[in-house]
Chains A and B, each alone.
Chain A
Amino acid sequence: MEKQKNKEINEFLQKGYEYGFETDIESETLPPGINEDVIKIISAKKEEPEFLLNWRLKAFAHWKTLKSPEWSQLNIDPIDYQSISYFSKPKQDDGPKSLDEVDPKLLETYEKLGIPLHERAKLAGVAVDAVFDSVSVVTTFKDKLAEAGVIFCSFSEAVQDHPELIKKYLGKVVPYRDNYFAALNAAVFSDGTFVYIPKGVRCPMELSTYFRINEAKTGQFERTLIVADEDSYVSYLVGCTAPMRDENQLHAAVVELIALNDAEIKYSTVQNWYPGDEKGKGGIYNFVTKRGDCRGENSKISWTQIETGSAITWKYPSCILRGDNSSGEFHSIALTNNLQQADTGTKMIHLGKNTKSKIISKGISAKSSQNTYRGLVSMSKGASQSRNYTQCDSLLIGNKSGAHTFPSINVNNTSSTLEHEATTSKISDDQLFYCQQRGIDEEDAIGLIVSGFCKEVLNELPMEFAVEARALLQVNLEGAIG
């Protein structure tokens, strides 16, 4: 009986990866390898000012002194950094001025991914900065945002049009010295997104970006910088898909968020990188450094993520709660299947007085996957009257998967309170039987139970991502009730 049930559960988990296909477009790709010349070429191709080239070179010099990191729970083949090409640009002469000018094959790619740019743009009023491989292909609605004074453009454009802002904020939250991948990214980042919300402005629409890795052996090194000036608000969404490939592809992005006094930044990610096949072959290596600096008083940064893809995930979106009364939130669902490995979590560093942080992490591990939560909550001596609440729950499906929790708590003052809870459970036979006796088949039952398990996090997602989240977790949410 047990075997029968496991078989059914396994079949449920066998959903093929729908998004696997390639786009046949000529790419201008650099030969593999990394050295100073490669970096100078990248910088020259983008016509970057000198300060930026110098910063890249310093980062590269530092990277060379570092050793690739090791993690206790992850099983990774060593990455050969010299066999990756660090730049790939689909052949376009100067960017398109409008959607009509974009290569139709590219637009078709976006259609398949479920991102009909023009339709979405018209109906939902969402501006999309779409990145194809390493260079921004199309950016829409810049004008509308410009009216509000919001700067939302590719990183490359920002370097040209707003170098003073880049110079002021780049690398201030994640300096190149921070870790191995931060150094690599600082040296070879090709593009990404830049957002600046001026004082007092509430960004009129949800901002979003879609990424896609196409060329084999192209590591993707995006750099995102979002600055919310005093009393402003922005909500930013990121969704990713990638085609099936045999070689592992590296993704080492850096995301820096800065919130000044009374500002708020919401950053949401739905990540669906190719996870590798059942035997663990192929799949994306996703190593991301994401950090938010709640610099100003009363500032707020929240990270929401749904991670279902990647062969290996390593990311710890973090908040530095510097300004008094600032608050940080982290909501995460990480689903691992087959042979996926995820090592993810968050760091909440309380420096200012009366700062708050909330962490809700839900991990679901199935088949032979390993799902690890690593968290750090630290309250410095000066962070009086601060509060943290952490809840991390793991749901294990099957007896071959692993769920691990490594929280680390450091409190150095007497007036702060901290509460941390974690549970590990499985989908109980009783719960399944109950659903089945009500006529719901096993697959749907699992979907419902998992959705119930993740409810608190799913509620945090901006509406636009509700559809993709649902699809990813294979569940029906109740949308009909108010």
Chain B
Amino acid sequence: MADQEKIKNQFSSENIASIISGKSDYPDWFDKFKRLSLQNLLDQNLPSIKDSEWESTKINSLTKKLFNNDFDASDSVNILAEDIEKDTNKITISFSNGIYTCSEELPSYIKILSHAKDKDQFRDLLDMNKEHASSFSPTLNSLILSDLLLIETSNNQKVDTLIHIINHTSNEANLAPRIEIRAATNSSVKIFEEVKTSNNSIMNHVLRLNCQKNANIEFYKVIDRQENSHYLGTQDIEASEDARIKFFLWDFGGDTSKTVTDTRLLGKKSEINYSALFTPNKDLHSGNQIKINHEASDTKSKIKVRGVLHDHSSGVFYGKIKVKESVTKTSAFMENKNLLLSDDASISSKPILEIYNDDTECSHSATSGSIDKEKLFYLKTRGIDEVEAKSFLINSFIEEISGEITNKKIQDIFKKYLLENGKS
């Protein structure tokens, strides 16, 4: 492809090379790591709209923007858009243009690792991501990466404080937040992450969750609406024996907004509950890919994803449940429901089952439709006008997922987002 070559040439131009890997304060090992990442990137086929994996995205525009964007915006001003309420039960960490900061003193279980000062830990954590060597988004993340956020509990530690992470970028920036969450045996932790980006920016996010024996992780994430911006998220989840993971994602759409989650249920009796909402409007895209591998017996998974597509937006859902041959007594449930609110909106859904063992209970379902006429009629006969009735029905559709969030604080934040994005 002529285009691919052109783009790759831009990547290998001295200009880019020096920005990415030639910084003077990069220690040798980090410099080497960056060069390796660059090489990995050049060895791959860059994604294009012709790949089914990138359907409905604006990936071509993303790959072109990469060069015009600032690869290293860490020198620019730190922006924290919201005024964060002081809350004793919440600690806020912000990621702004490549750097993680926190206005308070960090508790023992949160560490911001710098490539300059925390070499050993940093290296150990990077090494583990080898399997993504051939994947565009995580490789790009490695290329741009600066700081690393580590949330690590100790055995039996039950963290009550809500860990709040806000990701923010400035215009025309390429950024790579990277978060490692490790919940030790019998511990528990709750995290809420917000992704906010500015004009023409590209965010490549890598998140890894590791849940040890009998540990609990609750992770909530919201990706704010981003016109002209791109968000690519790669999430890896590993669960050991008796681990419980609850993951909730709400994506409001972007020029490209794609989250790919890979879960491995490695220990017996581990469980994951994954719920997601995507609600793009205008001509935005929202892509949600979730894979769950049942690699141990007695494991459970539940996936519930709902989409509400307005205007010319497009949604893509890809869900895969895989049960290995030697694994028994698994239960897997996947549901994707979509509301298409205009003739110009579109949804592509692929709920997939790959089952190699008969001692399993698996089911999946997918539906697509518009607002239920009967329900609309019922509301109108009670005197409610069409606009309000439709709004009510759309919200109740969303509420069936968002209503499952038990944490009031988080519920409130989500409601705010819904209100904000509802206005546009």
A7 interfacial by beta-carbon distance below 8 Å: no
A408-B367 CB under 8 A given contacts A399-B328, A399-B357? no
Interface segment out of the listed B78-86, B109-117, B337-345 = B337-345
B199 interfacial by beta-carbon distance below 8 Å: no
Binding site for B on A (CB under 8 A): 381, 384, 394, 396-426
- B363, A409: Cβ atoms under 8 Å? no
Bound together, the chains give a CA A306 to CA B350 distance in angstroms of: 25
Query: Which of A397, A408, A414 counts the most chain B CB atoms within 10 A?
Result: A414
A396-B353 CB under 8 A given contacts A411-B368, A417-B369? no
Give chain B residues whose Cβ lies under 8 Å from the Cβ of A406: 350, 352
Contact with A along B352-392 (1 / 0, CB 8 A): 11111111111111111110000000000000000000000
- B355, A404: Cβ atoms under 8 Å? yes
Q: Which 3 A-B pairs have the closest CB atoms?
A: A396-B358, A426-B358, A417-B369
Bound together, the chains give a CA A381 to CA B365 distance in angstroms of: 23
Bound together, the chains give a CA A418 to CA B356 distance in angstroms of: 28
- CB < 8 Å neighbour of A401 from B358, B361, B362: B358
Bound together, the chains give a CA A416 to CA B370 distance in angstroms of: 7
Closest A residue, CB atoms, query B366: A420
- B351, A414: Cβ atoms under 8 Å? no
- CB < 8 Å neighbour of A421 from B345, B346, B350, B363: B363
Bound together, the chains give a CA A399 to CA B358 distance in angstroms of: 5
Give chain A residues whose Cβ lies under 8 Å from the Cβ of B276: none
Is chain B's interface secondary structure helix, strand, loop, or mixed overall?
strand
B161-215: which residues lie under 8 A (CB-CB) from chain A? none
- B343, A413: Cβ atoms under 8 Å? yes
Q: Chain B's nearest CB lies how many Å from the CB of A44? A: 43
Bound together, the chains give a CA A419 to CA B349 distance in angstroms of: 12
- B360, A400: Cβ atoms under 8 Å? no
- B351, A424: Cβ atoms under 8 Å? no
Known: A384-B343, A394-B353, A411-B368; 8 extra A-B contacts, CB below 8 A, are A381-B343, A396-B355, A405-B351, A405-B352, A407-B351, A412-B346, A415-B343, A424-B360
- B347, A421: Cβ atoms under 8 Å? no
- A411, B346: Cβ atoms under 8 Å? yes
A416-B366 CB under 8 A given contacts A394-B355, A402-B356, A411-B347? no
B399 interfacial by beta-carbon distance below 8 Å: no
- A420, B351: Cβ atoms under 8 Å? yes
- A414, B345: Cβ atoms under 8 Å? yes
Give chain A residues whose Cβ lies under 8 Å from the Cβ of B341: 414
Give chain A residues whose Cβ lies under 8 Å from the Cβ of B361: 424-425
A407-B352 CB under 8 A given contacts A418-B366, A423-B362? yes
Q: Chain A's nearest CB lies how many Å from the CB of B142? A: 29
Q: Chain B's nearest CB lies how many Å from the CB of A390? A: 9
- B370, A415: Cβ atoms under 8 Å? yes
- B338, A423: Cβ atoms under 8 Å? no
Closest A residue, CB atoms, query B363: A423
Bound together, the chains give a CA A316 to CA B99 distance in angstroms of: 53
Closest A residue, CB atoms, query B365: A421
Q: Chain B's nearest CB lies how many Å from the CB of A87? A: 39
